[in-house]
Amino acid sequence: MHWLYLHFPRLQLDLFEQLHPEQTGPTVVIDGTNNTVCQLSAAAISAGIKPGMGLAEVTAIHAQTWIIEYSANSESSQLEHLATTLYAIASDIVCVASNGIAINLSPLVRYYQGLDNFMALCERTLTALRVHFQFGSGVTIEIARVLARSCVNRVEAEPDLANNHLKNCSLQATELPIKEIEQLNRIGIRTLGQLIALPLEEIGKRFNNQIITYLLAIKGVKQPPYSLFHPRKLFSQYLELPYAVESAPRLSRYISVVLTNNCAYLQKRNLATDTLQFELQQREHENLEFVVNAGAAHHHLSEWQMLIDLKLEQLKLDSPVTSLTLTCDQLVEFDPENLSLLQSTYSRHAENMLLGKLLARLGSDSVKTVEQVNEHRQDYAVQQTCALHNAPVNSEANGQQPAWLMVQPQPLTEQTQILYGPERVQTGWWDDHPVKRDYFLAVTGKGQRLWVYRDDQQHWYVHGYFG
Amino acid sequence: MSASISSLVKHPLVFRGRDHRHSADGNEVRLPFGQANLDKACAGGVPAAGAISIRALAGQGELQLLNNVLLQKAGTQKRILWLPNRLHLNPNWLSQTPYQQQSWVVNTTNEADALWACEQAIRSQACCCVVMYLAQIEPKAARRLQVLARQYDCLVVLVHPGNMGPGALPVNIDMALSFDARQWFVHLHRVSGAWPQQHIAIEHPLPASNSAIVNAFRHYSNNPATAIHEVS
């Protein structure tokens, strides 16, 4: 086996720099468990800030330092996204901890006709994702991991050559617990070469089995078992916001990051969707969920972004949002319509775009097609207008119908002249809403054509207007 | 002289309509109402692209008057968007029209949303016609719709139920429907390509009447050979 290990030392900071490219001042990520710096930007290094410094020390060195709290969830989500992207160029991938990816190089050497070809492609892919990374290689994941954390940044054609680099690596680059590293330092063992030179029997007398297992992996004797990464069959990404956002439209720039990943995911798999589900984690209230619908399934970033922006304009937040999740699980195979070159006046695409905009801003039930309602009681017909995409061809005529209906019939109060009728409607005796009415067309002195009826109590009502 | 006119035309507050849709002989395409007097007063009918405004009381039959125009626009196979704006369009009525399959009814809760939806429909180029009901519209908003509708080849029908206020809107045709005793009239406050006119008499029949029955009774009741019952 020959493994490549990619170590991402500042994933959360990389994401922050993508979200806020305008932020050029010192930025650090603070580990909340011990309030020390765990990731820092180039500007922070220039300012004299070092990893492991406390929060007070950081602010004393540079008062304007931008501080972000470390989030393991955010890094895990980003690592999964990286692994999903790398899955397009490599098959055997293992996600290690929250900031490392191991790739089995053995099958790739033959596929890419050389390691250099694959490494060039891998580096280009990761550079495009704008993440900082270090790498190393070895016969086990543990060897490659130590070399990557030591910034070797070399892939040896022969895995055994990596052992030369490994001997010079510090114990700090290993996964040994701090307590054991201090113990070894006290007896003068500071590099991995010194540790490997010790007989395992002697180490076994002083340290537990986990250390022995780890050392066996470091020596390349036995690789501990790892489960291979398999991308999800649906897209879901979590994003921790650098600070709480109070206004919904300001979420747009953060949503665009996960949306870009979503559209890339769909395009690579020739998939499309007409529904995106968002979940906003609010600081002081329950999670806010909303759905954005498009007129037709597609995977175009700019069009989705426009629909989401329209939706965000209408959205009211109960309290500031700290993180968000985009889920896309209603996937269909992308089937673009073949449009005629000469038919420039009409496009189904334009129609779908319009529909998507209307649904996004006015609500998912705002646009209706029309269908003849199989109901003589027009009071119910108003509420039974069919939903979109379900309009069959109209059937038989249903008497003289006005264009406009009143939701609640109003008593007829003005003087009218009856010019047509009656049309008797007597129905609903089988349910709890029996109706017995005589409908007429009546005209007022101003020429208004009213649809009026007389009920069985001989009361007169206006039910609609002829448009 | 030309320089001063040019500077005037470039002023941002001066609107200069551009001739856009013309027939092969160079004239603007117009869609007739099917009413001889009205079509003559409108220089042939409604311009195929642009906005028109109709002021009529609820139930005065504005859609019946426009039926011929809508049928012609529906021939393009594009969508017809209905923006009833809090009114309730009868699905059974619309399902009996020839343009049922092309129609979308968009429910809005306020006039700002209705105007936004109208503008999006025009810009999308997916709609041949937008029928919007508004209590009132600002001249600035009407002019915006007029310019957009001409640019994107769409007919926008603005209906103002009950609004009989003075002042013409900057649209292709601004008209009012009125009834006087037994005659229907159209008052043209503004027409592109013709002069405004008042009291244009039109035929505006009822969608249904009992006249056939009444006439039949009158005819046959006076004939002793066919009279079955005595009609007083």
Q: For residue B149, what is the domain's CATH number?
A: 3.40.50.300
Residue A423 lies in a domain: yes
Residue B9 lies in a domain: no
- Cβ proximity of A426 and A432 under 8 Å: no
Residue B36 lies in a domain: yes
Domain end (from A309, A328, A362): A362
User: What pLDDT, in 10s, does the model give residues A15-69?
Assistant: 888 888 888 889 999 988 888 999 999 999 999 999 889 988 998 998 888 888 8
Cross-chain residue pair B88–A446, CB shorter than 8 Å: no
pTM, to two decimals: 0.69
Residue B231 lies in a domain: no
Pair (A202, A241) in one structural domain: no
- Cβ proximity of B130 and B104 under 8 Å: no
Q: Which residues contact B148 (CB under 8 A, 6 or more apart)?
A: B119, B122, B123, B154
Residue B34 lies in a domain: yes
Pair (A162, A19) in one structural domain: yes
Residue A243 lies in a domain: yes
Question: Nearest-CA residue of chain A relative to B61?
Answer: A467
Exposure string over B33-50, b if 16+ CB within 10 A, otherwise e? bbbeebbebbbbbbbbbb
Residue A350 lies in a domain: yes
Number of structural domains (chain B) is 1
- Cβ proximity of A406 and B88 under 8 Å: yes
pLDDT score for B21: 55
Pair (A273, A397) in one structural domain: no
Residue A448 lies in a domain: yes
- What is the greatest pairwise CA distance in chain B? 86
Pair (A183, A261) in one structural domain: no
Q: Provide ipTM, 2 decimals.
A: 0.82
Residue A326 lies in a domain: yes
Pair (A262, A122) in one structural domain: no
Q: Which residues contact B21 (CB under 8 A, 6 or more apart)?
A: B28, B29, B47, B48, B49, B150, B153
Pair (A214, A124) in one structural domain: yes
Domain that holds residue B39: 22-207
- What is the greatest pairwise CA distance in chain A? 113
Pair (A101, A196) in one structural domain: yes
Cross-chain residue pair A403–B63, CB shorter than 8 Å: yes
**Spatial distance between the Cα atoms of A250 and A227, rounded to a whole number of angstroms:** 39
DSSP string, A388-427: TT--PPP-S--SS--SEEEEEEEE--S--EEEEEEEEEEE
Pair (A10, A85) in one structural domain: yes
Cross-chain residue pair B206–A406, CB shorter than 8 Å: no
Q: How many A/B residue pairs have CB atoms within 8 Å?
A: 159
Task: Tell me the nearest-neighbour CA distance from B36 into chain A, angstroms.
Answer: 21
**Spatial distance between the Cα atoms of B30 and A97, rounded to a whole number of angstroms:** 71
Q: What is the pLDDT along chain B (232 residues), one digit of tens a residue?
A: 567 777 776 665 665 555 445 555 556 789 999 999 999 999 999 999 999 999 998 889 899 999 999 999 988 888 999 999 878 888 888 888 888 888 999 989 899 999 999 999 999 988 999 999 998 889 999 999 999 999 999 999 999 887 656 778 899 999 999 888 788 999 999 999 889 999 999 888 777 777 777 777 777 766 666 555 554 4
Residue B11 lies in a domain: no
- Say which amino acid occupies A218: I
Instruction: Pick the closest to residue B29 from B91, B72, B61 (CA basis).
Output: B72
- Cβ proximity of A326 and A260 under 8 Å: no
Task: Tell me the nearest-neighbour CA distance from B87 into chain A, angstroms.
Answer: 7
Q: Which residues pair with B178 in a beta bridge?
A: B185
Number of structural domains (chain A) is 3
Pair (A310, A386) in one structural domain: no
**Spatial distance between the Cα atoms of A234 and A278, rounded to a whole number of angstroms:** 14
Residue B167 lies in a domain: yes
Residue A367 lies in a domain: no
Task: Please name the member of B64, B76, B117 whose beta carbon is closest to the beta carbon of A358.
Answer: B117
Residue A210 lies in a domain: yes
Pair (A12, A122) in one structural domain: yes
Domain that holds residue A435: 378-465
User: What pLDDT, in 10s, does the model give residues A172-227?
Assistant: 888 888 888 888 888 888 888 888 888 888 888 888 888 888 888 888 888 888 89
Cross-chain residue pair B58–A366, CB shorter than 8 Å: no
What residues of A are in contact with residue B59 (Cβ under 8 Å)?
402, 404, 444, 448-450, 465-467
Pair (A252, A182) in one structural domain: no
Q: What letter does residue A125 receive in the DSSP assignment? A: H
> Could you tell me if B92 lies within 8 Å of chain A, comparing CB atoms?
yes
**Spatial distance between the Cα atoms of B60 and B71, rounded to a whole number of angstroms:** 20
Domain end (from A308, A335, A362): A362
Residue B226 lies in a domain: no
Domain end (from A306, A336, A362): A362
Pair (A253, A202) in one structural domain: no
Residue B217 lies in a domain: no
